[in-house]
Structure 1
Amino acid sequence: MITYEQVKDAYFSKTAEPAQIKLFISSTGAVLGKTLKPDHKSLLSEVITQAVFQNITDSAAKSDLTTTLISLEKDMAELTALNNLKKKPENFSEKKESYINSINEKRNKLYALLKLQKSSLFPEDDQFSNLKILYLPYFLTTAGLSEAYQPDAEAISKVMALYTTHNQSFLTDFKFFGFPFHYFYTAIFLLILFVGLCLLYSIFMKNLNIKYQIQE
């Protein structure tokens, strides 16, 4: 979240340098790896697509990515339409498998193309750049390529805060022996729970031994 906060104003004001866009892609890409609500996923997918294409300077690569992405979305839409048919065609299974294979091939192609552009998309010190490139083809969308597309900075920032900011309170902020206090009380709670269960087990077994006259 700190990285995002540092570069968001420059990005949304369209004054960001390539290095700042890399940081923007890296920070938003980290959130895409989480389980997102559909509307949150759409917001981030659109803006990260825009950022990715802004930082790719190779026109041939950009064209290839665009063509592949358009074709991928066409296949996905047709697969959805096929699955939604009330009356399935006789060759339903074959057509479905064909679409799935085509979708996988195009995602693999997107991955290969993006991997070649890695240095343009992520900072050199991003330890998770390979992982982010791996799942990026699942989030790119043509909606972010439209010239009319304008990212909703406020909505995107709220989504980023939701998935990257931990709830804070006295229990998380107060330091106890150099650690957040909630670490301590969680550990004590677990210790008491364990001791309590052991005690209950001992009492239970003792009562059983008395009931059935079992001698140890």
Structure 2
Amino acid sequence: MSLTLVIGDKTYSSWSLRAALALELAGAPYREVVIALNRADTRAQILQHSPTAKVPLLVSEDGPVWDSLAIAEYLAECFPEAHLWPRGQYARAVARSVCAEMHSAFVALRTHLPMDLKRDQALAEIPAEVQADIQRICALWAECRRGFGQDGPFLFGQVSLADAFFAPVAARLRSYRVPLPAQAAAYVQTIYQWPAFQRWYQAAQEEHLG
């Protein structure tokens, strides 16, 4: 299958990271098109590929697939043997629930702690609404680990799409040096030890952003 992933800067584009990690989980070879964000021609460049003028976009043999969650579901169906979702009917339902929550919630966190993989500095003060998001995220991670994490260090034990969706959150918490409970801190470390994330992170460090 021929696949092309259109993404933004690896330093900043959290949604692009989610789609790329999904492709890594699928084990599918793909071509990458990187479009620099926050430039005068960014919108025009993305519109050459994506009808929404947003990244990521997956160009498949069937046609374009936009939105990270749709890309994840498409890949899960195309590569069922890769088990992108956890094994077990209820585990899959919970994994989809947490991905959907990540997809639609945590606006304060996104606003005040945008992904920046080159950053290593705490905020002077974390707003109360951001702290509420962080508390919910830590509780969510703890629930997943307690209910499904017996056979590995990821949210559902073995690595899955849930980890692809929360990897940019883990990166934010590390980049902004957010104090975390021990279990959440251990999960952040798990993400940073994930080879697929490490490859993206290293590429971000080597990006030249103008």
TM-score surpassing 0.5? no
* Larger helix fraction of residues: 1
* Larger strand fraction of residues: 2
Q: TM-score, normalised by structure 2?
A: 0.31
Q: Greater Rg, structure 1 or structure 2?
A: 1
